[in-house]
Amino acid sequence: MNLRELAKKDAALTIEGEQAGNTLCTLSSPDGNAWLVKMILSDIGYELDTDGNKVIGRTCWATYIADRVKDENENILTPRKGWRLNWIDIEGKEQKMFVRFCEPDKTIGWNRLFMAVQLEKTNE
């Protein structure tokens, strides 16, 4: 086994292993297809300005093994703007995000999604 194969195997274990404790998410395409995928998630409640100061914002990303999301012909799909990601957070609340863009890593075989908050209309 070469180093790249070992890194791919380690990534799968880190993201999907029984002891990893990562989150089961629903990734949905605009055409209505959906995949249940285990992911590493990060949802940080602030951002940094150009001087390194904390400012109000939200940085959300998720990483998963790329070949878990395939079309009917077994082609690996790369999510893009318009896709959605839903999951239940540690407080038991459903989180709904839109994919802003995806960074595929074709060396190790994972995708990293960067997301925007899905704002919902309320009647208050």
How do 110-117 and 94-105 pair as beta strands? antiparallel
Residues 11-33 have a mean pLDDT of 86
**Cα Rg of the chain (Å, integer):** 16
Distance CA 20, CA 26 (A): 18
pLDDT at residue 79 in the model = 97
More confident residue, 79 or 120: 79
Tell me if 42 sits within 8 A of 59, measured CB to CB.
Answer: yes
Residues 19-38 have a mean pLDDT of 91
Distance CA 34, CA 89 (A): 19
Distance CA 106, CA 104 (A): 6
Average model confidence (pLDDT) across the chain: 87
**Coil, strand, or helix at residue 65?**
strand
Does domain 3-117 bear CATH number 3.30.160? Answer: no
Tell me if 104 sits within 8 A of 66, measured CB to CB.
Answer: yes
- Would the pLDDT of 121 be above 70? no
Chain segment 46-57, per-residue pLDDT in tens = 777 788 887 777
Angle in degrees, CA 5, 9, 13, rounded to 5: 170
% pLDDT > 70, the chain: 92
Count Cα atoms within 13 angstroms, Cβ side, for 99.
21
Chain segment 57-101, per-residue pLDDT in tens = 777 899 999 999 999 999 999 999 999 999 998 899 999 999 999
Tell me if 101 sits within 8 A of 94, measured CB to CB.
Answer: no
